[in-house]
C-alpha cells in the first residue's frame, strides 16, 4: 500500500470518525486514500475552522479530534485553533502536507519549517521522513494527545513520502493509558489537612471534566459536605442546582463566589489548571492552605503554594481521601448558595430592550434541555454565560478560557452537532466573534446540520469596551458596523431571525431550535449592564 493509505489506516485504527480540513496539492494522496476509508472527511471553508472543530470534538468526546491542511498558508491557518486546544488541554492531532523533501533545504514556494512552527504550541511535533515510521508516529501522537494533561500534537507529511508505495508496515494497536493510584502517605496527609479545616472549599477545574470523573467529585463533596466552586471550563462538574454548588469563578471582580474564597482556610483544588483563572485573583492573601489533587505536579506560582497534595487517578484519589477525612459540619455555604441563586435569577424576567444579558441567559436555559450543548465564543457574552448559565451536566457549556480565542463558537457547534446529532446545539457568540468564522455556516448547511447561532449584537468589541470604561472611563476604537444578519443567514440558505422586543426571544429560540436547518438569531444586547455589574460587585456585602 502507499504511505498515504498507511496513514489513513493508522487513523482508522485510532478510532477516528471525522477529519476536518481543506484539501491542497501537498495532501492529494491523503485525500485520495480517504475515499475508501470509514473516516468521514469534513471539508471546511477555512483551516482555522477545521482546527476549532477538532478542538471541540476533543473536548466533548475525550478522543483526539483530527484536522488536516496543506503546507504553508494552510498550515499557518491551523495555528490559532491548535494553540487553543493545547493551552485548554483538548486532545487534537493536526496533520499538514509538506513540500517534497528534495526542496526543504532551500527557499522554496510556500515552504516553512512547520515542525519548529508548531513545536511551541503542541505537546509533540514531528516530521515523517520515512514511510515505515508512520505507525509509530501516529500512535505516539494519539497517545501523547490523549495522555494527561491532554493537548495538541502535530505531524508534517511531505508529499513525496506520502506517494511511496509497496509498504508492508501495519498500524499499531492503541493501548489505553492508566494512571497510578496516589501514594497512601500523601492521601493520609491530605485527609488530615481537610479534617482540621474550619471552612474547606473545593475548586474544581477542567481536569476533572477531561478525566470524566465529575460523578466522583460530587460523591467526594457530598461525603465530606464541602462546597464546590468551578472554573469556567469546569461548568457542570457539579450540578448548579446542587446544595453544595457555589457557582463559577472567573470574573476579575469580587463576585459572590469570592466570598467563599475569602472565608475558606483550606482550598482543595481538583483538576485545576492555573491557565483557567490565575491564583492571584482568588488567593490574594496567599495565606490559605492549598491542597493539589491532580494527575500532574502543581505549576509554580507565588499565589499557588501547595500545602499538600496527591497525584494519580482522580477516582482513586478522591475516594481514598474521602475515606480518611472527617466531614465538614458547618453550614455557612448554604446561605451563600441561596444568595447566589437569588442574585443570578433576579433579572430572569426583565423586559427592557435591548435585551439584558441576564434575560438572554435565562431564556436560553429555558429553551434547552439539560443535555443540550452550548458552544460559547469569547467576548463580553462569555463572562455572562460563564457566570449565569446554569449547567446540570459537564461539557454542556463549552468555554475556551485558557487560550480564549475568538471565533470558536460557529465551527465548534458544527463539530458538536456532528458528534452528538441527537442533542440540540447552540453557538453563543458576539457579533465580532461570529464574523471571524461565519464562513462555516456553509459547512453546516452542506452537511444538513440543524444548529442555532445566537448573536449578541452590540456593534462593538464589547469586552474590550467594558475594560476600557473601567480603566479609563472612556472607550477607544472598539465600534464597528454589521451586515444585516437576517439577510446574511438567508444568503446561505439558513433561517434568519431578528429580536425586536425582549418578549420575542424565548419563542424565537424555541422556533429556531425546532428548525431542521441552521438558524441565526440577531439579538441586540444592552451591555450597559456590564458596568452596572462592576459597580454592583464593588458594593457587594458578603452574606457569610
What does the alpha-carbon distance between residue 459 and residue 432 come to, in Å, rounded to a whole number? 8
CB 202 within 8 A of CB 229: yes
Strands (E), 315-400: 373-376, 397-399
The CATH classification number of 345-536 equals 3.40.50.970
DSSP summary character for residue 503: G
| pLDDT tens over the chain, length 544 residues | 999 999 999 999 999 999 999 999 999 999 999 999 999 999 999 999 999 999 999 999 999 999 999 999 999 999 999 999 999 999 999 999 999 888 988 888 888 999 999 999 999 999 999 999 999 999 999 999 999 899 999 999 999 999 999 999 999 999 888 899 999 999 999 999 999 999 999 999 999 999 999 999 999 999 999 999 999 999 999 999 999 999 999 877 777 778 888 889 999 999 999 999 999 999 988 899 999 999 999 999 999 999 999 999 999 999 999 999 999 998 777 878 888 888 778 888 999 999 999 999 999 999 999 999 999 999 999 999 999 999 999 999 999 999 999 999 999 999 999 999 999 999 999 999 999 999 999 999 999 999 999 999 999 999 999 899 989 999 999 999 999 999 999 999 999 999 999 999 999 999 999 999 999 999 999 998 888 887 777 666 676 6
Q: Which residues contact 292 (CB under 8 A, 6 or more apart)?
A: 269, 272, 298, 306, 308, 309, 310
Cell triple for 394: 459537564
A 10 A CB-CB count for 428 gives 29
Identify the pLDDT of residue 30.
97
Tell me if residue 95 falls in helix, strand or coil.
strand
Q: Are 451 and 477 spatial neighbours (Cβ–Cβ below 8 Å)?
A: no
| Three-class SS state of 431 | helix
- How confident is the model at residue 538, as a pLDDT? 67
CB 276 within 8 A of CB 231: yes
Phi and psi (nearest 5°) for 475? -115, 160
Domain 184-338 class in CATH: alpha beta
**CATH 3.40.50.970 residue spans of the chain:** 3-162, 345-536
Nearest to 12 by CA among 32, 40, 39: 39
- Res 455: pLDDT: 98
Cell reading at 166: 509497496
To the question of domain 3-162 being in CATH 3.40.50.970, the answer is yes
Rounded Cα gap, residues 327 and 355, in angstroms: 44
Residue 536 has which C-alpha cell?
454592583
Boundaries of CATH 3.40.50.1220 in the chain? 184-338
- pTM as predicted: 0.96
**pLDDT for residue 44:** 98
**What pLDDT sits at residue 332?**
72
Amino acid at each position: 500500500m502507499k504511505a498515504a493509505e498507511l496513514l489513513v489506516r493508522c487513523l482508522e485504527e485510532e478510532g477516528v470518525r471525522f477529519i476536518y480540513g481543506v484539501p491542497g496539492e501537498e495532501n492529494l494522496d491523503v485525500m485520495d486514500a480517504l475515499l475508501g476509508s470509514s473516516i468521514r472527511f469534513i471539508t471546511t471553508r477555512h483551516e482555522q475552522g477545521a482546527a476549532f472543530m477538532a478542538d471541540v470534538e476533543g473536548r466533548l468526546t475525550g478522543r483526539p479530534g483530527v484536522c488536516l491542511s496543506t503546507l504553508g498558508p494552510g498550515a499557518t491557518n491551523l495555528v490559532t485553533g491548535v494553540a487553543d486546544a493545547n493551552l485548554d488541554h483538548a486532545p487534537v492531532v493536526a496533520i499538514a502536507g509538506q513540500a517534497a523533501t528534495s526542496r526543504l533545504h532551500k527557499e522554496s514556494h510556500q515552504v516553512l519549517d512547520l515542525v519548529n512552527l508548531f513545536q511551541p504550541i503542541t505537546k509533540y511535533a514531528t516530521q515523517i521522513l520515512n514511510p515505515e515510521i508512520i505507525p509509530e508516529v501516529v500512535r505516539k501522537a494519539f497517545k501523547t494527545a490523549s495522555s494527561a494533561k491532554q493537548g495538541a500534537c502535530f505531524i508534517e507529511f511531505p508529499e513525496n513520502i506520502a506517494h511511496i508505495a509497496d509498504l508492508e508496515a501495519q498500524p499499531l494497536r492503541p493501548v489505553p493509558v492508566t494512571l497510578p493510584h496516589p501514594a497512601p502517605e500523601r492521601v493520609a496527609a491530605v485527609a488530615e489537612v481537610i479534617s482540621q479545616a474550619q471552612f474547606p472549599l473545593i475548586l474544581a477545574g477542567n481536569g476533572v471534566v477531561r478525566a470524566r470523573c465529575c460523578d466522583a467529585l460530587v460523591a467526594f463533596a457530598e461525603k465530606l459536605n464541602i462546597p464546590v466552586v468551578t472554573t469556567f471550563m469546569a461548568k457542570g462538574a457539579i450540578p448548579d442546582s446542587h446544595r453544595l454548588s457555589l457557582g463559577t469563578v472567573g470574573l476579575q471582580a469580587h463576585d459572590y463566589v469570592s466570598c467563599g474564597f475569602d472565608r475558606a482556610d483550606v482550598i482543595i483544588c481538583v483538576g485545576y489548571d492555573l491557565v483557567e483563572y490565575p491564583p492571584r485573583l482568588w488567593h490574594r492573601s496567599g495565606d490559605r492552605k492549598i491542597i493539589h489533587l491532580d494527575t500532574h505536579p502543581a505549576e509554580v506560582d507565588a499565589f499557588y503554594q501547595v500545602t499538600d497534595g496527591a497525584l494519580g487517578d482522580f477516582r482513586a484519589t478522591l475516594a481514598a481521601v474521602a475515606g480518611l477525612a472527617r466531614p465538614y459540619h458547618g453550614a455557612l455555604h448554604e446561605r451563600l448558595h441561596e444568595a447566589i441563586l437569588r442574585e443570578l435569577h433576579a433579572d430572569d424576567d426583565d423586559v427592557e430592550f435591548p435585551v439584558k444579558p441576564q434575560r438572554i441567559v435565562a431564556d436560553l436555559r429555558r429553551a434547552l434541555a439539560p443535555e443540550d450543548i452550548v458552544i460559547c465564543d469569547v467576548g463580553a457574552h462569555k463572562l455572562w454565560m460563564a457566570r449565569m448559565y446554569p449547567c446540570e451536566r459537564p461539557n454542556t457549556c463549552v468555554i475556551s478560557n485558557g487560550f480564549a480565542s475568538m471565533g470558536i463558537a460557529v465551527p465548534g457547534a458544527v463539530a458538536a452537532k456532528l458528534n452528538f446529532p441527537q442533542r440540540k446545539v447552540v453557538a453563543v457568540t458576539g457579533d465580532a466573534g461570529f464574523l471571524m468564522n461565519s464562513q462555516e455556516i456553509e459547512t453546516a448547511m452542506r452537511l444538513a446540520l440543524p444548529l442555532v447561532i445566537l448573536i449578541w449584537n452590540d456593534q462593538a468589541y464589547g469586552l474590550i469596551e467594558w475594560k476600557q470604561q473601567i480603566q479609563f472611563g472612556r472607550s477607544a476604537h472598539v465600534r464597528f458596523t454589521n451586515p444585516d444578519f437576517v439577510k446574511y443567514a438567508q444568503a446561505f440558505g439558513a433561517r434568519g431571525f431578528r429580536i425586536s422586543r425582549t418578549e420575542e426571544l424565548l419563542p424565537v429560540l424555541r422556533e429556531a431550535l425546532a428548525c431542521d436547518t441552521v438558524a441565526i438569531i440577531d439579538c441586540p444586547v444592552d451591555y450597559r449592564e456590564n458596568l452596572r455589574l462592576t459597580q454592583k460587585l464593588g458594593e457587594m456585602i458578603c452574606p457569610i
